[in-house]
Structure 1
Amino acid sequence: MEFLRPATWQEAVAAKAEHPSAVPIAGGTDVMVEINFDHRRPEHLLDLGRIPELSEFDTDSGSGTVRLGASVPYSRIMEHLRTQAPGLALASHTVASPQIRNRGGVGGNLGTASPAGDAHPALLAGGAEVEAVSVRGTRLIPIDDFYVGVKRNALAPDELIRAVRLKTATGPQQFSKVGTRNAMVIAVCAFGIALHPEVRQVRTGIGSAAPTPIRARAAEEFLAAALEEAGLWESRAALPPAVARQFATLVSGAANPIDDVRGTASYRRHALGVMARRTLDWTWREYRGAERTESCA
């Protein structure tokens, strides 16, 4: 195994072009596990740890976006982006241990593209874009198009993930995860939701309950229409229980889970319904509270 260690982003992109099969490594929290268990033996490892721009983030209030370097650790997302990307910050809290949260970043989750990755539901709900770069140039891949199969993503062989772009949150976001214990655990299933009141839209993300991370599109469309028809975006009145129940049913129905050592397909569908109902309740309570805060200001 040859170890490539570029010092600049330009060198990294050139190395990837020369060795398209090279496996990028930054935090190493996914790749090194596979190597240590001899599940993977790449010919080249491409170490991105010396490239400082991958560990930087920018919150541009003018454009209303957060640009998150691929190697920004989860601990920094938790500390600095709770307002701008609350769903992702909440998901970051659930990632493994403090040691791994200090090393791992969103770029690794995206590169691995495991359906159980903790960042995926929040990225789907937030409407993220992935900044993919090669010697041929830069392209932005919508998160909805990024996951193409089990542990497969839309990157070309010569592309590297430089950053993730997220619109700054304009409404409440939530994340929930079920595991076999409270910490250091792979998700049995996970769910993220984000309200986007400026465009009257609801987005969701489901993890570990289908071959790829997915959205519950029918549930999103139902809830957005129900909020619109009842004038709830403006009034911020209490959400009818029947709406919450139907939303949960549609989320559960969107999943395509399997039975495995962590849980059955039936349990995953049930858990998703419970998480959908709870996170919707939390987000709607927060949305209503924001109205009361604005009225008192």
Structure 2
Amino acid sequence: MEFLRPATWDEALAAKAEYPSAVPIAGGTDVMVEINFDRHRPPALLDLNRIPELHTWEIGADDVVRLGASVSYTRIIDQLTGRLPGLSLASHTVGSPQIRNRGTVGGNLGAASPAGDAHPALLASGGRVEVASAERGTRMIPIDDFYLGVKRNALEPDELILAVHVPSATAPQQFAKIGTRNAMVIAVCSFGIALHPEAGTVRTGIGSAAPTPRRATAAEEFIAAELADTGGWETRGELGEAVVRRFGELVAEAASPIDDVRGSAAYRRHALAVLARRTLTWSWTEFRAAGRAAA
């Protein structure tokens, strides 16, 4: 196995162009598991740890956070909870403290596992993935278009993930997941939600309940229409029990889960409906409280 260790971003892109089958490694929390269990034996590893720009984050135009691909989950929790609350909540659920110190959103995106904890929060926030190649330069991939199949993403063979662009939250966001224990567990299913009052929309993200992470678009359209019809964004009135329950049902219908060792398809659908109801209620309660505080 070749081990490539570029010192600059340009060197990394050149190495990826020369060795398209090389697997990028930063935190190694996914890659090394595959190697250690002999599930995957890549011809080359491309170590990205020495590339400075991958480890930084900044606030760009329109209050969008540009998050370097190698920024760890621990740093997201410590430094970006106020701006990216949904992603921060998801980061809290990733493995152990040691894994959160090493694991990255860029690695989660590269692995493209349906069970990746970052995906529902990114879908709910409406982020974009910045990728680059030596030949074609940089391009932006909307998060909705990034996931193509089980552990397949929209990267070309010679491309690397440079950063993720995530809009700063303007209203409450939530994330929750079901697992066989409270910590260091792969999600049986997970769900993220973000309120976007300036656009009059609610975005969602479903994890570990379909071949790819996905949004529950029918549920989003239902709750957006309900809030528009009742003037809910302006009045911040209570959401009726029937509305919350229907939202949960539509989220469950958006999933296409399977039976596996972690849970049955039926259980995943049931759990998603519960998570959707809870996170919508939590988010809306927080939104209402913020309105009362501002008044």
- The one-letter code sitting in structure 2 at the alignment partner of 1:129 is R
Aligned ranges 1:72-87 → 2 under 5 Å: 72-87=71-86
Partner in structure 2 of residue 160 of structure 1: 160
Shift of 1:240: 1.1
Spell out the pairing of 1:6-25 with structure 2 (5 A cutoff). Answer: 6-25=6-25
Cross-structure match for 2:105: 106
Partners of 2:80 and 2:290 in 1: CA distance: 19
Question: Which residue identity lines up with residue 101 of structure 2 in the other structure?
Answer: N
Match status 1:49 vs 2:52 = no
Equivalent residue of 1:199, what SS? coil
Counterpart residue identity of residue 190, structure 2: A
CA distance in structure 2 between the partners assigned to 1:260 and 1:166 by the alignment: 32
- The residue number in structure 2 matching 1:138 is 138
Q: Give the Cα–Cα distance (whole angstroms) in 2 for the partners of residues 286 and 109 of structure 1.
A: 29
> What do the CA deviations read for 1:23-73 (whole angstroms, capped 9, x no partner)?
00000000000000110111110000111111111123x521000000100
| 1:17 Cα deviation from its structure 2 partner | 0.6
Q: Return the alpha-carbon distance in structure 1 between the equivalents of residues 241 and 179 of structure 2.
A: 27
TM-score, scaled to structure 1: 0.98
Distance 1:66 1:293 in 2: 26
Cα distance in 2 for residues equivalent to 1:240 and 1:80: 36
**Structure 1 residue 111: deviation in Å?**
0.3
Report Cα offsets for 1:116-156 as digits up to 9, x if no partner: 00000000000010001101110000000000011000000
1:200 aligns with 2:180: no
The residue aligned with 1:271 is 271
For residue 62 of structure 2, give the secondary structure of its aligned residue in structure 1: coil
Aligned to 1:115: 114
Question: For residues 235 and 150 of structure 1, what CA distance do their matches in structure 2 show?
Answer: 42
1:213 corresponds to 2:213: yes
Structure 2 distance, partners of 1:292, 1:53, is 41
AA matched with 1:99: Q
Shift in Å at residue 83 of structure 1?
1.2
How far, CA to CA, are the matches of 1:71 and 1:293 in structure 2?
A: 37
The alpha-carbon deviation at position 89 of structure 1 amounts to 0.3
TM-score by length of 2: 0.99
Structure 2 unaligned residues grouped into runs of 5+: none
User: 1:92 corresponds to which residue?
Assistant: 91
Q: Distance in 1 between matches of 2:240 and 2:187?
A: 30
One-letter identity of the residue aligned with 2:200? R
1-structure distance, mates of 2:59, 2:269: 36
In 1, Cα distance between the equivalents of 2:132 and 2:294? Answer: 42
Partner of 2:241 in structure 1?
Answer: 241
Say which SS state the counterpart of residue 215 (structure 2) adopts. Answer: coil
SS in 2 for 1:279: helix
Aligned-partner residue type, residue 285 of structure 1: T
Query: Residue 63 of structure 1 aligns to a residue in which SS?
Result: helix
Give the secondary structure class of the aligned counterpart of 1:96: coil
**What CA deviation, in whole Å up to 9, does each residue of 1:186-213 have, x standing for no partner?**
0000000000001001100000000000
Aligned residue in 1 for 2:67: 68
Deviation at 1:94, TM superposition (A): 0.1
Structure-1 separation of matches of 2:150 and 2:245: 30
- Per the alignment, residue 288 of structure 1 pairs with 288
Q: Give the aligned CA root-mean-square deviation in angstroms.
A: 0.6
Q: Which deviations, in whole Å up to 9, do the C-alpha atoms of 1:160-205 show, x marking residues without a partner?
A: 0000001111111000000000101000000000000010011000
Mapping for residues 220-239 of structure 1, pairs under 5 Å? 220-239=220-239
